[in-house]
Chains A and B, each alone.
Chain A
């Protein structure tokens, strides 16, 4: 920013008029009303920011724009969608989630917690999940059941076929 330095004790930045609350360091935004990239009530893949050569720096993905229903978007990029079934011991119905919607374990676990209304406890490498009666597990490409969280996220999201939230009592001691 041109005014960052105090030149000749004249802090031009202080007197600069711009859109925005004082104290924020945002770059100029070209249009007044087009400001929202809020993550509003949505968690589909729309907000994954893709690097493309756009004319203005402020043109990030906007919620709900263009107005295409998610079932259409998903179908077009069929190859990219990774739906996995999620079952939970004791819950009557299965759910389904798109792993691509989450970018790390905390997001995924939070979504599972709110989906099935339970708490998952704290993860530690040595002892797995402590503090709750449930253990999140997944079936990987080889058909093995693993503990969620042990491998790096990318490895997990590409090999996970199915999720199962087991009751601690049912889980093998190794998990």
Chain B
């Protein structure tokens, strides 16, 4: 799971000597441990290769493998032969052909597509990240493929069919936040992949094609170990499911969707006591089917039978009065996910008081500060906490606040990861967490009201986030919110030396903020920014970093197209995508969204074409620059013409004639060259 921390090995120049050249006499081959055969008198290459192969096959971590492959040409070659699990963090960083050319024996692929902000409707729906070219290439190159793990990828039913047909030993299919397929594709996988162990559909959009896919599993005993379909919004043939579970003796993890009722769950549990991870379906009673009499099954007894369950989730359509049924398993739980259940503190506390071993806890803020205090009092082993808003709007009632955060920080000292949505917060509570929880690696605080200050002192949240980066020495992921000035970013740049992922929204005052981060955070890999006043100067200041990053996302900032083109021109291995609309002629230079990423294989060929797309040649200066054309992908969509909006790129909120700067051609050109009209 550890991320690649070294620069992408492929972007370094290949070791200059080609494999075919026998003699290699240039003196700067100090890194070649095996020089040509004329120089070496010890072992023939092929013996060393065999030895190396036998050694390198034990390397699992991709960081180690990347490092090993840089030692010399031979190690590069052998490492490529022995790498069986490949991780690709951005599907557009390289082409499928490049993958199969380098790695010949891949059994497992992890592939990530769209950037995270695509989850929040900030990207056009048909933007890309298609699985099709990958699966078709791998079908020929890796017939022994066993595992595919995709995140934010567009997968079609045809793609799934190709997987099912091409890989006879296929074992694991994991689709996280994916879309483009339906139950018919799943049915094909279920039917044809006879060695299937894992079928995990997680937070994916699955079309209901009215196919009874559960019945498509073969009739004999299955290899299934994990089956998760809680995101599938389609009714399930329960009888077939019951039969499937009955003939899956290795099944450990089962996540049901909301179309499985509580009574049905009861029957399943009685037949599958070996489960370790359970996602319930609908946790409510079907009032039409039963009377309120002795006919109601003993749900608690069913849970009692599941002595091995350590991970519990689901609880969709919850009727809280049935919650006590889970009491028997609480003491064993290490992971509990209530994030789809609207539970009040009174319903919640009796349960959490039994969960002493809990390490991972997800919930809605309906449990209130009171519920969080109960968590803090009981769950001393807590490592990960996520609190989601029941009412995810900016100005809704906020049942959780700094009180809950403070309590957690005091009670759960081993906390490593937190995601916390709230309506109000104080610096004091955040500082407290920074001091009490030194193990924090992930700190994501979302104060839902934009630009909201510390609600007690009225000050910006700079000091709180500053304390986090300063005191949490292991911090690798940070998401900030609330009212933040450039000072917060100064802290990040000064102390956030291990930060790899940074998420910024509605924050900062000027370009300096982003500059602090780009100049101060050497490990930064993923940068996502929205609605913040960062412009061209800031973008230029990071050019020494972009090849060492997976991607940069900036939307609704103050960037100009001219600057983006300059960056594209200066960095040929960077793909610079500008996504926006141009029905506002005055805004010709304004960049709505910038998404840029390093790539070995240039801009993608599958950029979407819309019927309304107006092809517009980029307005490059007199010199035609073919590199710019290659690296520059300008996607322009016509959006509905809404009311006129004020122009951007002004002087950071100050009223000045330069707010009309885009009308003043000279100013526009100057800004494109990096000049700013803000003095610091």
Contact = CB atoms under 8 A, between A and B. Distances in A.
Given A19-B650, A39-B640, A96-B208, A71 B317 contact: no
Contacts of B650: 19, 32
Contacts of A126: none
B338 to A, nearest CB: 12
Interface stretch (A59-67, A134-142, A163-171): A59-67
Q: How large is the interface on B (under 10, 10 to 19, 20 to 34, 35 or more residues)?
A: 35 or more
B389 A66 contact: yes
Interface in A1-41: 17-21, 24, 26, 29, 31-36, 38-41
Interface residues of A, dominant DSSP:
loop
B122 A64 contact: yes
A41 B207 contact: no
A6 B262 CA distance: 71
B212 interface: no
A31 B507 CA distance: 11
B646 A73 contact: no
A69 B642 contact: no
Contacts of A62: 394, 450, 531
A152 to B, nearest CB: 25
A44 interface: yes
Given A67-B446, A71-B203, A93 B182 contact: yes
A15 to B, nearest CB: 12
Contacts of B123: 41
Nearest to A73: B392
Q: How large is the interface on A (under 10, 10 to 19, 20 to 34, 35 or more residues)?
A: 35 or more
B393 interface: yes
Given A66-B448, A73-B392, A21 B647 contact: yes
B124 interface: yes
B340 A76 contact: yes
A46 B119 CA distance: 13
Interface string A50-65: 1011100001011111
Contact of B388 (A18, A32, A59, A72): A72
A54 B423 CA distance: 13
Contacts of A26: 643, 646
B533 A50 contact: no
Given A24-B644, A66-B393, A66-B421, A19 B655 contact: yes
A76 B393 contact: no
A63 B395 contact: no
Contact of B120 (A20, A65, A75, A85): A65
Contact of B506 (A18, A34, A68, A73): A34
A63 to B, nearest CB: 6
Contacts of A76: 340, 342, 364, 390-392
B209 interface: yes
Interface in B113-156: 117, 119-125
Contacts of B332: none
B119 A32 contact: no
B451 A63 contact: no
Given A33-B533, A33-B653, A39-B639, A61 B646 contact: no
B646 A65 contact: no
B339 interface: yes
A24 B646 CA distance: 9
Contacts of A95: 207
Nearest to B388: A72
B531 A94 contact: no
Contacts of A85: 208
Given A41-B124, A96-B207, A69 B119 contact: yes
Nearest to B125: A41
B210 interface: yes
Contact of B316 (A21, A44, A75): A75
A124 interface: no
B560 interface: no
B648 A33 contact: yes
A32 B533 contact: yes
B68 interface: no
A88 to B, nearest CB: 13
Contacts of A33: 506, 531-533, 556-558, 648, 653
Contact of A39 (B395, B506, B642): B642
A42 interface: yes
A31 B514 CA distance: 19
B452 to A, nearest CB: 10
Contacts of B82: none
B533 A67 contact: no
A71 B231 contact: yes
B203 to A, nearest CB: 6
A35 B646 contact: yes
Contacts of A50: 393
B655 A69 contact: no
With most chain A CB atoms within 10 A of its CB, the pick from B117, B531, B659 is: B531
21 contacts: A20-B646, A24-B643, A26-B646, A31-B450, A33-B531, A33-B533, A34-B506, A35-B648, A39-B642, A41-B122, A41-B123, A54-B394, A59-B450, A64-B121, A65-B120, A66-B394, A67-B120, A67-B505, A68-B120, A69-B177, A70-B119
9 nearest interchain CB pairs? Answer: A64-B120, A42-B121, A32-B653, A68-B392, A20-B646, A66-B448, A19-B646, A41-B124, A33-B533
